[in-house]
Amino acid sequence: MSSPEATGRDPLPTRHSVRASQVEMTELVLPNDTNQLGNLLGGKLMHWMDIAMAIAAARHSGLVCVTASVDHIDFHHPVKQGQVVVLQASVNRVFRTSMEAGVKVFAEDIRSGTRVHTNSAYMTFVGLNEEGVPTASPQVIPETEEEQRRFEQALARRQKRMG
Ligand SMILES: CC(C)(COP(=O)(O)OP(=O)(O)OC[C@H]1O[C@@H](n2cnc3c(N)ncnc32)[C@H](O)[C@@H]1OP(=O)(O)O)[C@@H](O)C(=O)NCCC(=O)NCCS
């Protein structure tokens, strides 16, 4: 394992903990990302969400992770050009070769310093080995109450998802 200096992250999260998978991604909403009203395009935000969660899944598993499914996504607040989007992603639960990741998205206004929670989403990723074959990953270890709640709810979501 590389040293904290090498990764720039907090030292020594428990191996396979949810915290070890955590990703915080920060993006600036530029004109090319917006519609005619200056609001962030939903597709652009979904792209960022996919990337943040795919990195969390890859960080946990050490594998290339592909998106297998996307749960329902609601957009509660428009995000304006010039705002900063902060995406916080982590792995909620591993099933076998697949795992559920979640992301919380915030829109930050640089001038006022306010941060609004705009939406959250869950996606399922599958870890692939170098031959492109689905490969099992170790279970994630929830350490906080919130992580434990997400871990439990992820199983119910999987059962609903898979019918
Ligand atoms: C995801 C993918 C690897 C699954 O392959 P597969 O041949 O169905 O593999 P398996 O049947 O062995 O299933 C592997 C895992 O994927 C899960 N899975 C497959 N389809 C799924 C779906 N629609 N939703 C959630 N999980 C799914 C299975 O439950 C299994 O999970 P488990 O091992 O934790 O129980 C394959 O469908 C694929 O490569 N899809 C394209 C991925 C991609 O390109 N994504 C970007 C799209 S733009």
Domain count, the chain: 1
Query: Does some domain include residue 82?
Result: yes
In a domain, 6, yes or no: no
- Considering the domain boundaries, does residue 122 fall inside one? yes
In the prediction, which pLDDT does 126 show?
A: 98
What would the two tokens of residue 159 be?
């059962």
CATH at 50? 3.10.129.10
- Phi first, then psi: give them for residue 60, nearest 5 degrees: -70, -45
- Is 36 inside a domain boundary? yes
CA–CA gap between residue 19 and residue 61 (Å, rounded): 13
Q: What's the pLDDT at 15?
A: 86
Is residue 59 situated within a structural domain?
yes
pLDDT of residue 6: 65
- Tens digits of residue pLDDT in 44-97: 999 999 999 999 999 999 999 999 999 999 899 999 999 999 999 999 999 999
Taking CA atoms only, the protein residue closest to ligand 1 atom 45 is: 67
Report the relative pairing of strands 115-128 and 64-70 from DSSP bridges.
antiparallel
pLDDT digits (tens, 9 = 90+) for 121-145: 999 999 999 999 999 999 999 999 9
Pocket lining for ligand 1, CB < 6 angstroms: 66-69, 95-98, 124, 126, 134, 161
| Helices within the chain (DSSP H only) | 4-7, 18-21, 42-61, 145-161
Residue 152 falls inside a structural domain: yes
Strands (E), the chain: 23-28, 64-70, 84-94, 98-108, 115-128
Percentage, residues of the chain above pLDDT 70: 93
23 in a structural domain: yes
Model pTM score: 0.92
Instruction: Tell me whether residue 7 is in a domain.
Output: no
User: Residue 47 sits in which domain range?
Assistant: 13-161
pLDDT at position 3 over 60: no
Q: Whose CA is nearest to atom 35 of ligand 1?
A: 96
What pLDDT score was predicted for residue 19? 96
Ligand 1 atom showing the smallest separation from residue 96 Cα: 34
